[in-house]
A and B are shown apart, each in its own frame.
Chain A
Amino acid sequence: MKKTNPSFLNGVPELLVLRLLARREMYGYQIVEEIRTQTGEALSFGEGCIYPYLHYLEAEKQVSSQRREVEGRNRNYYKLTARGRKRLEALTSEWKRVTTGVSQLMEEQYA
């Protein structure tokens, strides 16, 4: 059965985090900053609240983490796994389907 009412609002943080990690591995602060700057501050994670979310994605094997020292600082770096990439593809296609539908409706209304 075709899904008519996707929980896309709940999936937005997941989509954003996976999308960012698809580009390169990042640590928590970087992810929060990137989301804030790249969405023009329209969306932002509460400082610190990203971590339980990243741990959840790690438990789901969508991302993996490694503690590394870079430029004298120890941080947990997160990167996308093969499962995470598949999940990102699914979320992206669902997101495109929903936004296309919403855009069509909005354009009709204001045309």
Chain B
Amino acid sequence: MPDFIEPLRRRLVELGCPRAQVRRLVREVADHREDLTQAAVSEGLSGADAEARANASLGDPLALAEELMTALRRSSWWGRHFVVTFCLLPLLDYPVLWTLLLLLQMAFGFALGYGWNWEKLHVVANNPVTFHHLTMAIQFMDYAAIALVALFFCWLARRSAVSLKWMVTACTVCSVVAVIMYAKFEPHSFFVGFAMNSHLHMPWFRGAIPLLVAGAMYVFQRRTTQRFREKVAG
């Protein structure tokens, strides 16, 4: 009797279904298959025939995995409107999310380093050496904010069960916006804005961050699938 559940599980993993969903779907389909088998046995079929009928009722496990993924995709707004979510939304959401995350990190850093004491911050801003260190810290926060926004869209892509190409598309849009958006930090002032002719420090690196995140997520996905295949084979 060909196994039904493992091909289903493998295909769901290959299609990028979130792990928790894979576990739950596989468990429930296995329960469903068991119910179909029991129903067939109660009709007088032998164990093997009942299993064969249950498998036939469920159809091809690979096709079922595709159907489950389609249903999963349709069950969320993000999955139903994937073009808007992964092409247009990063364009509109990136500036807001990035600014919020950057301000949040700065507020956290300020609270942690200076205990919300403005006098201390003024002293730091007036000293070129300490101000240089502060600028570097904010630059790091800027990179972290870019990576977090890209990660948010990767998470949304995983959660919506859309294909990897939509995750890459969203990260590419983030990358373009990251290059033209900037944060400028000067003693006693802070600006956020757009500039095509950027005077930023390493704007190409800012643009590369979302692509690096997309690449890392792609590798993670491939490794997860590979690990699962090895586990099944072993």
Contacts and interface: CB of A to CB of B under 8 A. Distances in A.
Contact of A29 (B25, B27, B35, B67): B35
A46 B58 CA distance: 8
B74 to A, nearest CB: 8
Contacts, number: 59
Interface in A52-80: 52-53, 55-56, 59, 73-76
A43 to B, nearest CB: 16
B59 interface: yes
A29 B36 contact: yes
Given A48-B58, A51-B25, A51-B68, A29 B75 contact: no
B35 A49 contact: no
Given A51-B25, A53-B75, A56-B75, A27 B68 contact: no
A15 B25 CA distance: 22
Contact of B68 (A32, A52, A59): A52
A48 B29 contact: yes
B166 to A, nearest CB: 18
B68 A48 contact: yes
B176 interface: no
A47 interface: yes
A52 B32 contact: no
B226 interface: no
A29 B71 contact: no
Given A47-B32, A51-B25, A75-B31, A56 B76 contact: yes
A56 B78 CA distance: 13
Given A53-B71, A55-B21, A56-B75, A47 B31 contact: no
Interface of B: 21, 24-25, 27-29, 31-32, 34-36, 57-59, 64, 67-68, 71-72, 74-76
Given A46-B64, A51-B24, 16 more contacts: A28-B28, A28-B32, A29-B35, A47-B57, A47-B59, A49-B64, A49-B67, A49-B71, A51-B29, A51-B32, A52-B68, A52-B75, A55-B24, A73-B34, A74-B31, A76-B28
Interface of A: 27-29, 32, 46-49, 51-53, 55-56, 59, 73-76
